[in-house]
Chain A
Amino acid sequence: MSNVAKRQTSGLDKVLRVALYVCLLAMATVYLAPFIVMLLTSLKDVEEIRSGTLLSLPGSIDFSAWSKAWSGACTGSQCEGMAPYFMNSFKIVIPAVAISTLLGAINGYVISHWKFRGSDFFFAALLVGCFIPFQVILLPMARTLGWLGIANTTTGLVLVHVVYGVAFTTLFFRNFYQSIPGELIKAARLDGAGFFTIFYRIILPVSTPIIVVTVIWQFTQIWNDFLFGVAFSGFDTQPVTVALNNLVNTSFGGKEYNVDMAAAIIAALPTLLVYVLAGKYFVRGLTAGAVKG
């Protein structure tokens, strides 16, 4: 591909290259601007917000909006800030990610190396789970959670996220395990190794990259979920996205945009952090989840 760019540099080419960089940087500014505005707004006080504009700098760095967003702002009827809901999200995300990743690994292992009659058909049928609009399962799921006695609980939300996350995790692991040569598994079986021994000794040691991709994908998906959170959580089990939406749409008296923005950044921080630290794996998950589907 680089061949296209590799041409002799004339004067015109130089001008074009400068224009190219200007264009790319301008676009980068457009993508960054909303986050910068959020950050600036969160550091201003209400008076500065009213008198200034989006991009005016705060007179002094003021973190009071942040502490209010974290522990004092009202989300609906309660005024405990985002902190309890931030924790709720972790209580949902950690078990849901762990279980769905483990199930996905085992399923992918079976589908790619222990095929049985119908396993390919089942895989195709499972893929549909990646694509259905979840509106189509909301009502029956709400009834089921009620019957199981876990409506409005963290357990219920974990269950829902596991059930609808497994389709993706299975897809990820299956595509990865397809590239492990079947001869390897066959040789191990002739040596008398069983299903779990092979999984533990041969498959798991080479699985680190796909585990990272899957964990990051699931973490981002479940942390950012709003639909299941708003449909299936109770007042004290709401995930952070639902709390943020309540906080922004609750208005007693004046609107405090600085608190809204601080709360929004708090809600975005864990996934942003993951993205900055492990962007490569995040992108791989996005494209794998997308293209292979």
Chain B
Amino acid sequence: MNKNAANAGSGATQAGRPARLSLADWIPKIVMAPTVVAAVVCIYGYMIWTAVLSFTNSRMLPSYKFVGLEQYERLFMNDRWIVALTNLGVFGGLFILICLFLGVMLAIFLDQKIRAEGAIRTIYLYPMAISFIVTGTAWKWLLNPTNGIEKMMIELGFEDFRFNWLSDPDMVVYCLVIAAVWQASGFVMALFLAGLRGVDGEMIKAAQLDGAGIITTYRRIILPSLKPVFFSALVILSHIAIKSFDLVAALTNGGPGYSSDLPANFMYAHAFTRSQIGLGAASAMVMLGCVLAILIPYLYSELRGERHE
């Protein structure tokens, strides 16, 4: 609708001055130019550049001697990368599932005409406003094996309580899950709450007239109508998981050893501190592939939906 009106407008001016293009016609293009140049160079150009680097033998400095897929072979032979990828699978999977579960649950609970809803919502969401570095610092202290939650539980009388995940290579990845869920689950709640508020009241009334109980109403009518919110949340959460870098840096610094590394940390370590630019570039390309694998189907379905409207 707006689109047509805007097009009609520009058509009118062009009809008035058909032959020469005045400066005025160029203004929109000129003011967009810096962004166009920046996007073409700094998004697409750099992506291609990183792709090129991933096919070279660059180490401390970029070199342009091509070695084919050798860096990718090295990458997938590298134990640290395999650990990082496995961690991403465990961390991402649990993080997404728990956030979705908590988010939906809290949103439904909050949607029952709760007194002081605003205040409670504010409390659930505030972690989203702070940096992952702060979150990591706070949870590093809470999960500290000697002074943290473990000590608190022992003092409370649970003598045998042990909670040393932060120093246990097999369990440390779950510490990342705990901190990340604390930070992001309130956000999922906000998304679903906004979705719940948009559900058609008539539909619910009709269901209840038909004798559907509250649980059936949610399960059969309300939640299915929130499918788009669900997919948005899924995409955003997986995006957060793949990009996670700061949380690991602050909470575990990849340790013990490299047992809690994620791909983003692997990439940074190899490209910037271990002088393995080619390997770092290859790992960045794999990360890009992961994001695109999630994003392209999502954007495709979104754009198709828009056209149908």
**Which residues of A are in contact with B by a Cβ distance under 8 Å?**
1-7, 17, 20-21, 23-25, 27-28, 30-32, 34-35, 37-38, 41, 49-50, 53-55, 103, 106-107, 110-116, 119, 122, 125-129, 131-144, 163-164, 166-167, 170, 178-183, 185-186, 189-190, 194-196, 220, 223-227, 230-231, 241, 244-245, 248-249, 257, 260-261, 263-265, 267-268, 271-272, 274-276, 279, 282-283, 286-287, 290-291, 293
Map CB proximity to A onto B173-211 as digits: 1 under 8 Å, 0 otherwise: 000000000100011001100101101010011001000
Q: Which residues of A contact B242 (CB under 8 A)?
A: 133
Q: Please tell me if B59 contacts chain A, counting CB pairs below 8 Å.
A: no
Which one, B26-34, B69-77, B89-97, is touching chain A?
B26-34
Give the nearest-CB partner of A13 in chain B.
B214
Q: Cβ of A170: which chain B residues have Cβ within 8 Å of it?
A: 35
Which residues from B are CB-within-8-Å of A231? 268, 272
Neighbour of B9 across the interface among A107, A185, A226, CB < 8 A: A185
A-side contacts of B86, CB under 8 Å: none
A189, B239: Cβ atoms under 8 Å?
A: no
Q: Size range of the interface on B?
A: 35 or more
**Chain B residue with Cβ nearest A37:** B142
Distance of B162 from chain A, by nearest CB (Å): 16
A-B contact pairs, 13 of them (CB 8 A): A3-B204, A55-B152, A127-B299, A166-B39, A178-B2, A189-B9, A227-B246, A245-B133, A248-B250, A261-B137, A286-B128, A290-B191, A293-B236
Taking the nearest CB of chain B, how far is it from the CB of A219, in angstroms? 10
The answer to whether A122 and B42 touch (CB under 8 A), given A24-B114, A182-B8, A264-B138, is: no
- Residue from the list B27, B139, B152, B281 in contact with A34, Cβ < 8 A: B139
Contacts of B27 in A (CB 8 A): 114, 194-196
Which residue of A is nearest B287, CB measured?
A: A133
B141–A257 CB distance below 8 A: yes
A50 to B45, CA, bound (A): 53
Of residues A53, A135, A183, A274, which shows the largest number of chain B Cβ atoms within 10 Å of its Cβ?
A135
- Against A, the Cβ 8 Å flags (1 = close, 0 = not) of B224-248 are 0000010011001001001101100
Q: Which residues does chain A contribute within 8 Å of B50, judged by CB atoms?
A: 136-137, 139-140
Question: Across the interface, do A139 and B271 meet the contact criterion of CB distance under 8 Å?
Answer: yes
- A224 partner, pick from B106, B131, B144, B149, beta carbons under 8 A: B131
Contact A226-B133, Cβ < 8 Å, known A132-B43, A182-B5? yes
Check A4/B214 contact, CB under 8 A, given A115-B7, A133-B243, A170-B35. yes
Which of A126, A138, A185, A271 has the most chain B CB atoms inside 10 A of its CB? Answer: A138
- Give min CB distance, A230 to chain B, whole Å: 8
Note all chain A residues with C-beta closer than 8 A to B133. Answer: 224, 226, 241, 244-245, 264, 267
Q: Does B249 contact A (CB under 8 A)?
A: yes
Residues of B within 8 A of A31 (CB): 123-124, 126-127, 182, 186
* A274–B126 alpha-carbon span in the complex (Å): 11
By a CB distance below 8 angstroms, the chain A residues around B67 are none
Residue numbers of B with Cβ under 8 A of A are 2-10, 12-13, 24, 27-29, 31-32, 34-36, 38-39, 42-47, 49-50, 53, 62, 106, 109-114, 120, 122-135, 137-142, 144, 147-149, 151-152, 155, 182, 186-187, 190-191, 194, 196-197, 199, 201, 204-205, 208, 214, 217-218, 222, 229, 232-233, 236, 239, 242-243, 245-246, 249-250, 253, 263-264, 267-268, 271-272, 277, 280-281, 283-285, 287-288, 290-291, 295, 299
CA of A28 to CA of B250, assembled, Å: 24
Query: A interface, by DSSP: helix, strand, loop or mixed?
Result: helix
**B245 in complex: contacting residue of A136, A227, A268, CB < 8 Å:** A227
- Contact, CB under 8 Å: A141 / B42: yes
Bound-complex Cα distance A47 to B151 (A): 15
Closest 5 A/B residue pairs (Cβ): A182-B5, A224-B131, A275-B129, A114-B28, A186-B9
Q: Which of A27, A32, A103, A265 contacts B35 (CB 8 A)?
A: A103
* Interchain CB contact under 8 A, A106 and B131: no
Across the interface, which residues of A come within 8 angstroms of B24, CB to CB? 194-195
- Chain A contacts of B122 at CB under 8 A? 276, 279
Q: Which residues of B contact A103 (CB under 8 A)?
A: 34-35
Q: How far is the CB of A86 from chain B (nearest CB, A)?
A: 13
Chain A nearest CB: distance from B104 CB in Å?
Answer: 13
Q: Contacts A3-B205, A164-B42; is A112 near B232 (CB within 8 Å)? A: no
Which residues of B have CB within 8 Å of A110? 28, 31-32
Residue of A nearest to B51 (CB): A136
Give A140 to B280 CA distance when docked, in angstroms: 12
Beta-carbon contact of B6 and A113 below 8 Å: yes
Tell me which residues across on chain A come within 8 A of B194, comparing CB atoms. 287
